[in-house]
Amino acid sequence: MKTIAANELKTRGVSSIEKALEESGEAVISVRGQDRYVVMDMEEYNRLRVCELESALYETRQQIASGEFVEENVDEHIARIRNAAK
């Protein structure tokens, strides 16, 4: 994965990101020598979002199958959340 220094990004702008993404699907932006951000093209971002949503759906289905859920109305739900926050 290509690393782009923040100073390079300031001087070369988006072209430095475009060049880095040609070599790899993602690039790291470092600030004062510390890796701080990751940039990627939209296609890769959308692919990751779909994976994240599929994972959440799988986890939810597993919880339902094992009985790890609560059935309640809105008022009961709000009361449970407020009590949990105390």
pLDDT for the residue 24: 84
Q: How confident is the model at residue 85 (pLDDT cuts 50, 70, 90)?
A: confident
Question: Is residue 36 domain-shared with residue 48, that is, in the same domain?
Answer: no
Neighbours of 17 (CB within 10 A): 19
DSSP state of 33: T
Q: C-alpha distances in angstroms, 7 versus 10, 16, 78?
A: 5, 11, 48
Question: Residue 21: CB partners within 8 Å, gap ≥ 6?
Answer: 27, 39, 40, 41
Per residue in 23-74, pLDDT (tens digit) is 888 999 999 999 999 999 999 999 999 999 999 999 999 999 999 999 999 9
Question: Is residue 36 domain-shared with residue 50, that is, in the same domain?
Answer: no
CA distance 55 to 58: 5
Q: How many domains does the chain have?
A: 2
Question: Is residue 19 domain-shared with residue 50, that is, in the same domain?
Answer: no
CA distance 30 to 38: 9
Question: Is residue 9 domain-shared with residue 20, that is, in the same domain?
Answer: yes
Question: Is residue 50 domain-shared with residue 71, that is, in the same domain?
Answer: yes
Q: What is the value of pTM for the model shown?
A: 0.69
Residue 8: domain span: 2-40
Question: Is residue 31 domain-shared with residue 52, that is, in the same domain?
Answer: no
Q: How confident is the model at residue 77 (pLDDT cuts 50, 70, 90)?
A: very high
pLDDT at 10 over 90: yes
